[in-house]
Every structure is written in structure tokens, then in C-alpha cells.
Structure 1
Amino acid sequence: MTMTEPQHDRTRDRATPSLLDQMGGTAGFVYSTIPVIVFVTANAFLSLPLTIGIAVATGLALFGYRLLQRERFSSAVGSLLGVALAAGIVAWTGSARDFFVIGIWASLAGFVVTAGSLLARRPITGVIWNAVHGGTHPWRSTPAVLRAHDLATGAAALVLGARFGIQQWLYVAEATGGLGIARVAMGTPLTVLAALVVVWAFRRSTKALVR
């Protein structure tokens, strides 16, 4: 019996979709950068209405391609809705820099949540881990586990805070090209780094508390 339980735990861990899988995998991050690159490039040479149309058309093309690749509908349509909403805001305001405003304020909201949970001594990654595992584990009273989630939530807060600070500064400076570069550079690479810390904290918690 004791030989089968660890094997069962490992099987369950492998069966649980990773954070990266839930967000569309590495390809999902790459797909999310394509409309940004297309928008910034088109905006440098074309009128704003044409730029908006090309960005939306790119989003639609990627949506269709991802469905053909048998990706989850929720992942594929989420990126399309993001592009459509950003383009709609640009069409409404008439300012190309507003293509990035949703991401900027989403980063601020994420920073407030993650930083606030650290100040409250309830790091959000620990709250999520405990909820996923039944909500009954004494993770806050286990020092090693609490420290792991402090680090994981802190990493997420650092990434989100940096995104907001730098991109908001570029937004105020009306540097649309700079916003595009910052969006790509601070998107996939930093998200993957933060996700790795979160995955490490989750695994450490599972090893320490799940029998």
C-alpha cells in the first residue's frame, strides 16, 4: 500500500494541467504577441483605421488557425476578444497608444491583488494552491510552505508592478512603438519566469502537506 501511494500522487500531479497549459501553452504566448507586433508595425506606415482593421484581421486569422490546430476554444477566443476590445478602444478614442491600455490597467489590478495578499500575510498563490487541494491544509502554519508562497506571490507582484510602471510611463510619453516593444519584452519572458516560481511553490506545498 505504501508503495502505491507516492506513485498515485505523482500520477495525479502529471494529470493536473500546468499553469502554462491553462494559459494556452508557450504557443499561446507567442500568438498573443503577433497582433501587437502587427499593430505597431502597421501604425508606423498606415492610417489608424487601416491599422485597426489589419490588427483585427490578424486576430481573426490566428483564431481560425488555433481552432484548426485543435486548441481549446476558450484559449483561442480569449486572444481574439482581447485584440477586438483593444481595437475597439482605439477606434473610440482615436489614439493608437490606447491599444495597450487594457493590459496596463490589468497589470495594476494584478499588482494590487498580489501585493495586498502579501501584506495581509495570505499570499494569493498559497490561497489558490489550498483551494485546488480541498481547502483544508494548514499551509500558513507551515513555515517552509508559507515562505515558498511569499516568494511566488512576490515574483508575480514584481512582474506585474514592473509592467505597469514602465508601460504607464511609455503611455504618458505617447511612445506607441515603445509600448509595443515593452509589451513583447515584458510579456512571455517575465510571465514564464514568474510561472516557474509559482510551479515550484505549488510542488513544494504538495510535497510537504499532501499525503
Structure 2
Amino acid sequence: MSHDRGDSPTPPSLADALSAAAQNSGFGKVAPGETPTAGALLGAMGGVRGIVESLLPGFVFVVVYAITQETLPSVLIPAAIAVLFVLVRLVTRTPVVPALVGLLGIAVSAALAIFSGDAKENFVLGFWLNGAYVVGLLVSLLARWPVIGIIVGLLRGEGTAWRADKAKYRIAFVTTVLWTCMFAARLAVQVPLYYADQTQLLGGAKLIMGLPLYAATLWVTWLLVRAVYAKGAAAASGPGVHG
């Protein structure tokens, strides 16, 4: 018996998968080449709900630890709040993955703190993640494939053409360095506080250097990328023809 393969769905290519991942990231909420807006930046952070889900558990940790100086309530109450976020998303039929990812991170961090008996261990996972980002970004720079350029290329559907444009490549390199510095700055500030047993200050530093610093870095990246892409679009259009 012969089989008609023409009706079989074509599996997505690696480029399609990477493009979809870029669209679903925070960068996918902003449009390179377009004028930055507060609304788009808010969307990149997950909206008001995303901001609350990102900041509230950490804020509660700092408050509870400042009051009790106890590890258990300081990590369990934020974990309970993260579970509540997941349940609310399930009930309201909104995408649950962001809340699940947040819950997983909080749960692992809480487990480290509980098993060690020291609240400051709640921050160790974040150190490893930031360190991994620094290493990954540095590798991309050394390989001359800056990550920001790859992401912008996927979002704009231009593949790797940006590497042949000196201005675009330069901005991709500079903005990737910017993100590397952001993650490195977190480690430079927070790791010394960890070893100095300054748990409350560490919690406050993580809050300030978390979503607010991410938003500021994304905004600057957007401005820089927009400048080079807007200039390229203007050059491509050329002078208008007047009759």
C-alpha cells in the first residue's frame, strides 16, 4: 500500500524553533527598529502580573526575615505565594509556565536554605544562574557571535545577515557586553554580601538588581538597536522622488 507523504506536516526547522523561542522571550515583546514605548517594556516584563510575581516573593522574604530572623518562615511563605500565583493562573486560564518557572526557582532555593539551615543559601541558585549567563555571553563574544545579534536577527527574520553589516554587528557586540556586565554586576555586589552573612542586605540587593536592572538594561539595548536599524532603514529608502 502506498502512502501519500504530501499531507504529512513538515516538522519545524531549527531556525523556526529558535525564532519562536526568541518571540516568546522578553526581547520578543519589543520590536527592534521601532520607537520604545512604556507599554512594550511592561509587556517584556510580563505585565503588571509578571512584575508582581517577580518581586513579591523576594520582598516577602526580606520582610519576614527582618522580623523573625528565622530561615523556615522566610523561605516557606514566599514559596506559598508562588504556589498561589500558579493556582490563580490555572483558575483564570492564563499561561501558567511563567509562574511555574518562578515556583521551581523558589522551591529549589527554599530547599537549599532549609537543608542547610541558613537563609542566605536561598540565593545560591541565583549566583549559579547569573554565572552561567556571564559565561554563555562571554563565549558568544569570543566566538564573534554576540547573543543579542542572534536574537535580533531571529526577531527581524534576517537570519545571520546582521553579521555582514558593521554597524549592526558593532551594536550587537556592545549590547551583549552590556548584558554581560549586568549579570556580572549582580555577582560583584551580591556574592560579597553572601560571604559577609548580610542576608537582609543581600535580599534587598537582589530585589533592586533583579527586575528593575533587567528593565533598564533592556531599555538601553532597545534604544541602541533601534538607532542602528532605523538608520539602516532610512539609508535603504533613499531620497524621495518629487515630481
TM-score by length of 2: 0.70
Q: How does 1:43-192 map to 2 (within 5 A)?
A: 43-46=65-68, 47-68=70-91, 71-134=94-157, 136-192=159-215
Task: Give CA-to-partner distance per residue, 1:29-86, whole Å, 9 cap, x none.
Answer: 3321211121122123333223332222122223334455554211122212221121
User: How many Å separate the matches in 2 of 1:117 and 1:196?
Assistant: 21
What is the aligned partner in structure 1 of residue 60 from structure 2? 38
Residue 194 of structure 1 deviates from its aligned partner by: 1.3
The 3 A distance-change label for structure 1 pair 81 and 153 is same
SS in 1 for 2:163: helix
Go from structure 1 to structure 2 and tell me whether the alpha carbon gap of 1:74 and 1:122 turns closer, same or farther (over 3 Å shift). same
CA RMSD of aligned residues (A): 2.8
**1:155–1:194: 8 Å Cα contact kept in structure 2?**
yes
Greater share of helix residues, 1 or 2? 1
Which runs of 5 or more residues in structure 2 are unaligned? Answer: 1-22, 31-40, 238-243
Counterpart residue type for residue 121 of structure 1: R
User: What is the letter of the counterpart of residue 48 of structure 1?
Assistant: T
TM-score by length of 1: 0.79
**Equivalent in the alignment of 1:4:** none
Are the aligned partners of 1:39 and 1:54 in contact in 2 as well (CA < 8 Å)?
yes
Deviation at 1:200, TM superposition (A): 3.7
Cα pair 1:145 1:201 within 8 Å, conserved: no
Cα deviations by residue, 1:153-201 (Å, 9 ceiling, x for unpaired): 1111111010011111111111110111101111122101111233345
TM-superposed deviation, 1:202: 5.0
Greater relative contact order (CA < 8 Å, ≥ 6 in sequence): 2
Counting aligned pairs with the same residue, the percent is 31
Q: Is the 8 Å Cα contact of residues 90 and 96 (structure 1) preserved in structure 2?
A: yes
Question: 1:146, 1:42 → 2: CA distance?
Answer: 47
Which structure has the bigger radius of gyration?
2
Mapped partners of 1:97, 1:187: distance in 2? 17
Asked whether the equivalents of residues 28 and 155 of structure 2 are also in contact (C-alpha less than 8 Å), the reply is: no
How far apart, in 2, do the equivalents of 1:112 and 1:39 lie?
29
Give 5+ residue unaligned stretches, structure 1.
1-12
Tell me the secondary structure at the aligned position of residue 174 of structure 1. Answer: coil
